[in-house]
Structure 1
Amino acid sequence: MRELEEASNEGHRSSDGEVTEPTEDAIPEAEPTSMHNNPNQDANSQAKLGATSGRKQTEREDNLAGAEKKSDNKITYEIRKKPTNSIVLENFNSHEAVNGNKDDKAPFDMVKSEATYLEWLELESRLFPVRYYREQHTKAQQKYNIVRVLGQGGFGLVLLVNVEKGGPLYAMKVMSKEKIKEKKMIKYIIGERRALSAVHHPLIMSLIDKLKDNSNVYIIMPFIECGDLFRLMLSTRLKRFSYEEAKFYVAQVLLAFEYLHKMRVVYRDLKPENLMLDRSGYVQLADLGFAKLLDANRERTYSTLGTPDYMAPEIFSAKNCGYSFSVDWWTTGCLLYDVHGWISPFHTPDGNTMNVIKKIMTSEFSFQTSLSPTPKIL
């Protein structure tokens, strides 16, 4: 069992995370003023009548402005009342993004240089909370056909599906509601679905569609043809990864983490099995089940979870002081060691989890004798 998950002190995220469209209060119409046919009506009475009409028009404009202000306050409150309690979208019209009047993703094509890349990251960080908390309650129009079984997961099957024969292939993750409830993983499944819906990065897997019925929850993702990095490591065990190959894969992980951390998301479960390889050989960071959107003010979490061989020491004392993005950099170092030596730095021959934790807490590890000085310095 590579997974370790304990009950956490985090508050449960509500499944009702919809950012709703505010409804404007009804604005009473001004009562019409009739003109009596009085031939003796003088200019003073007409001026008085005009002034009254002008005041009523001003009151209507004030009421309209007040309604709009109330509407704006409501949409801000709807976003702030989520579990993070501090998400504020500054200088961004969330009405347009929620209603689809404005594209809620910054186009990656705009990245032409380091300056435009940083600008793209900044735009994404503003748009990410809108995508994360938006919940679209629409029934899927597609009917997926099962091609074959890809594998067995912790909560169910992973299927290869398509919409029509000869069409694009997708990976469908089938998760049993009963098993999710039994293992108390509801908030993690909801978090994974929200994270997959919100991420927009070429090196991170995203969501295609989501479905559910009385028994299961279904998440449809792109199908990555070449399997995961762990399988590639097994197939090349005799020659191992070179220094340049290791840098190639780890550099992509660094870019993916740079994006997630800018979005205030900590990943927490990096390992070779969660790095999928596309047909061009590039990485797709998968399995966002343990990803966590941190509070902008506190930016700490207190869950004890992950894969033991790759968990950072602060995770094991999380209930006392918590941890933040640093745990992802620890797992990146473990991955870099892993792709060089084919074994995690804190692995124990007996496979005893408690012995692994003890080695991690005391930072007891030694480099492989086959490693050259350059990888050791890295």
Structure 2
Amino acid sequence: MNDGDDHHIPSLQLQKLKVVSALGRGAKGVVFLVQTESGELLALKAILRHSIDKNKGNGNSDDSEYRRVCFEQEVLKCFRHPLLPKLHGVVVTEKIVGYAIDYCPGRDLNSLRKKQTEKMFSDDITRFYAAELVLALEYLHSLGIVYRDLKPENVMIQENGHLMLVDFDLSTKLCSAKTPESPPIVEPVPKSGPVKKKNVAAFYRCCSSGISPEDTVSVPPAELGANSRTSTSESDSVEKSNSFVGTEEYVAPEIILGTGHDFAVDCWCLGVVLYEMLYGTTPFRGSNRKETFHRILKKSPELVGEPTALRDLIGKLLEKDPKQRISLEKVKVHDFFKGVDWNLILRIQRPPCIPVRPEDKGIEGNKGIDVEDFVHEIFKAVEEEKEEENKDSEKKSNDESRNNGVWVEEQNYPTRGDNFLSF
């Protein structure tokens, strides 16, 4: 991937970073809040080296840990967009590899939703966040990147109140003739300041939505983590991926079926996220993975309530046939976004929620946290637990899959022991 201007990424020395706290963990790594010698707060994603090295021989596999780590670092290095993270540095020791990106003090979109009175967003708030997600995905697609893991937990709230997509290890790059040779550069979002009423009015009053700022500086687990240049109607002419990746409640039908997928999977995920913002739950959740996947393939989303532009958009995004699914280009002119000035969104200086940033004087650092030992101990326990789950899942799968237990013809669904969920 062309990184545009060969942007140099510095190496960071772990011993010179002040560890403030552990923010959370994913399948293969732990995210820490760290402070540099200059006082800058960053989110450091640390991954066990042995989990990468043992997969290095399978580096050409789309699912290998080695490929995922290399790809994520590569795409982070090329981003020039205010809704995507900047790679600030790389850490390499005998036990871990890691990289530092922007710290988002506003937690994630799921945490913000749960703070609402009915654990749902209003249409105006949904419109603002949905518009920013469309812009972020549009930029990724312009680079030929399919995100593949859009979910509220991967959508963070920046200090200025705008969104930031994180966690790109499940993303992939498709070779499209329409993909530009070098990444477009998007102007940065201005820092939060006095409300500009003219800007707010032009964007459906989203910026005066009344979400209260955070009362705490704690951060939940952060999974560190068009104008689609190829619309879904052109999907047959675009390279497709056959990897089985994603998060089960958000995964698109074509990924489950293994028929090949492209940029349209991100539109499906956007539909699931909008549904969750509207109803407070995902549309296809079952009692187990098998039931969830069956519902994704066979069940229509229940769009309860009077017909609205938002419900209509969700229905078009959750179209099971990717060729018929609405594209990002058409999403931007949908009635739900009628009157929205797309050139204005990133300039909004007072989004729905402006998080409280921890005061620098209150950050002492936790000298008791040894990053290498912390990561090792966590994933030693995780691997032991996973081995037990693999044994149980394999036995159960063998008992159920003798033709009468196959829920999708000629398609095996992954067990909980598989590397399906992201990080």
Global fold match (TM > 0.5)? yes
**Residue in structure 1 matched with residue 3 of structure 2 by the alignment:** 131
Q: Comparing both chains, which one has the higher relative contact order based on Cα–Cα distances under 8 Å and sequence gaps of 6 or more?
A: 2
1:253 match: secondary structure = helix
**Residue in structure 1 matched with residue 249 of structure 2 by the alignment:** 309
Shift of 1:368: 3.4
**Residue in structure 2 matched with residue 193 of structure 1 by the alignment:** 73
Root mean square deviation, CA, Å:
2.4
The answer to whether the 8 Å contact 1:237/1:342 transfers is: no
Shift of 1:322: 1.3
- Structure 2: distance between partners of 1:301 and 1:133: 28
Structure 2 residue 153 is matched with structure 1 residue 153: no
- Structure 1: distance between partners of 2:300 and 2:10: 52
Larger radius of gyration: 1
Query: Which one of 307, 317, 325 corresponds to residue 263 of structure 2?
Result: 325
1:150 match: secondary structure = strand
The answer to whether the 8 Å contact 1:203/1:252 transfers is: yes
Structure 2 residue 238 is matched with structure 1 residue 365: no
The answer to whether the 8 Å contact 2:10/2:88 transfers is: no
Residues 322 and 173 (structure 1), Cα distance of their counterparts in 2 relative to 1, 3 Å cut: same
Residues 138 and 231 (structure 1), Cα distance of their counterparts in 2 relative to 1, 3 Å cut: closer
Instruction: Trace 1:98-137 onto structure 2 (pairs within 5 A).
Output: 129-131=1-3
2:3 match: secondary structure = helix
- Structure 2: distance between partners of 1:220 and 1:330: 30
Query: Which one of 291, 301, 307 corresponds to residue 355 of structure 1?
Result: 291
**Residue in structure 1 matched with residue 161 of structure 2 by the alignment:** 281
Instruction: Trace 1:207-286 onto structure 2 (pairs within 5 A).
Output: 207-238=87-118, 240-286=120-166
Query: Which one of 36, 41, 45 corresponds to residue 173 of structure 1?
Result: 45
- Structure 2: distance between partners of 1:250 and 1:236: 17
Query: Which one of 339, 344, 349 corresponds to residue 277 of structure 2?
Result: 339
TM-score, structure 2 length as denominator? 0.54
Shift of 1:155: 1.9
Give CA-to-partner distance per residue, 1:52-89, whole Å, 9 cap, x none. Answer: xxxxxxxxxxxxxxxxxxxxxxxxxxxxxxxxxxxxxx
- Structure 2: distance between partners of 1:139 and 1:248: 36
- Structure 2: distance between partners of 1:135 and 1:258: 22
Shift of 1:316: 1.5
The answer to whether the 8 Å contact 2:7/2:77 transfers is: no
The answer to whether the 8 Å contact 2:52/2:66 transfers is: yes
- Structure 2: distance between partners of 1:267 and 1:368: 29
Give CA-to-partner distance per residue, 1:87-128, whole Å, 9 cap, x none. Answer: xxxxxxxxxxxxxxxxxxxxxxxxxxxxxxxxxxxxxxxxxx
- Structure 2: distance between partners of 1:187 and 1:256: 23
Structure 2 residue 255 is matched with structure 1 residue 375: no
Shift of 1:137: 8.9
How many positions carry a matched residue from both structures? 244
TM-score, structure 1 length as denominator? 0.60
Structure 2 residue 172 is matched with structure 1 residue 300: no
The answer to whether the 8 Å contact 1:359/1:365 transfers is: no
Question: What letter corresponds to residue 252 of structure 2 in structure 1?
Answer: A
- Structure 2: distance between partners of 1:305 and 1:289: 10
Unaligned runs of 5+ in 2: 56-63, 178-237, 314-423
Moved more, 214-223 or 290-299: 290-299
Moved more, 134-143 or 223-232: 134-143
Question: What letter corresponds to residue 323 of structure 1 in structure 2?
Answer: H
Shift of 1:290: 1.0
**Residue in structure 2 matched with residue 94 of structure 1 by the alignment:** none
- Structure 1: distance between partners of 2:76 and 2:168: 7
Shift of 1:132: 7.7
Residues 236 and 141 (structure 1), Cα distance of their counterparts in 2 relative to 1, 3 Å cut: same
Identity of aligned residues (%): 30
Question: What letter corresponds to residue 238 of structure 1 in structure 2?
Answer: E
Residues 136 and 202 (structure 1), Cα distance of their counterparts in 2 relative to 1, 3 Å cut: closer
The answer to whether the 8 Å contact 1:133/1:194 transfers is: no
**Residue in structure 2 matched with residue 74 of structure 1 by the alignment:** none
